[in-house]
């Protein structure tokens, strides 16, 4: 089962290496990793997607907690959260098919961010399913390059109670 871990760490050089090294030494493959500074400049947040059963994830979480640069580790897999991923896709776009590609871009509420003589670069954000769907829709035109950021996720806040 895929798990999503939200890890708060000190914003220091080498922290990413230590965290990635922990996964590597234990033989666990990181499926997705996104890191960025939080609203506190001294703290970064990592969103790590890793495949493993509950025992493996518990072991990984405990090992992460032992790292001196790690402030907090949370497995958010089973709580409600919002997640997004950004993808840039460079696709073959000869003039006769550009209209069709632009319709696909509209359907997915994506954007064209670069127009070349025979190519378009499309930017799309969304959950993993949306990213997979636009990629599948553009594949028949010929995907020349594709880059994804990896998942970022945030736990939803409490809902308002009904009156």
Report the Cα 57 to chain-centroid distance in Å. 19
Question: What are 57-66's pLDDT values in tens digits?
Answer: 998 899 999 9
Estimate the crossing angle of helix 98-107 against helix 128-138, to 10 degrees.
170
**Whether residue 162 has pLDDT greater than 80:** no
Asked whether residue 161 carries a pLDDT value surpassing 80, the answer given is no
Mean pLDDT of 37-52: 95
> H helices of 12-143, where?
15-26, 54-66, 98-107, 128-138
pTM: 0.85
How far is 119 from 107, CA to CA, in rounded Å?
A: 19
Contact 92, 144 (CB under 8 A): yes
């Amino acid at each position: 089962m895929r798990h999503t871990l939200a890890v708060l760490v000190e914003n220091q050089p080498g922290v990413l290496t230590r965290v990635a090294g922990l996964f590597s030494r234990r033989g666990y493959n990181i499926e997705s990793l996104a890191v960025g500074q939080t609203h506190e400049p001294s703290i970064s947040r990592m969103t790590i997607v890793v495949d493993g059963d509950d025992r493996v994830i518990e072991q990984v979480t405990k090992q992460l907690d032992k790292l001196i640069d790690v402030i907090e580790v949370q497995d958010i897999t089973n709580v409600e959260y919002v997640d997004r991923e950004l993808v840039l896709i460079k696709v073959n776009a000869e003039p006769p098919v550009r209209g069709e590609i632009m319709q696909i871009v509209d359907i997915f509420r994506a954007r064209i961010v670069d127009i070349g003589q025979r190519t378009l670069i499309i930017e799309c954000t969304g959950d993993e399913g949306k990213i997979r769907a636009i990629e599948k829709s553009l594949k028949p035109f010929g995907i020349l390059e594709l880059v994804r950021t990896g998942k970022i996720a945030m736990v939803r806040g409490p809902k308002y109670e009904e009156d």
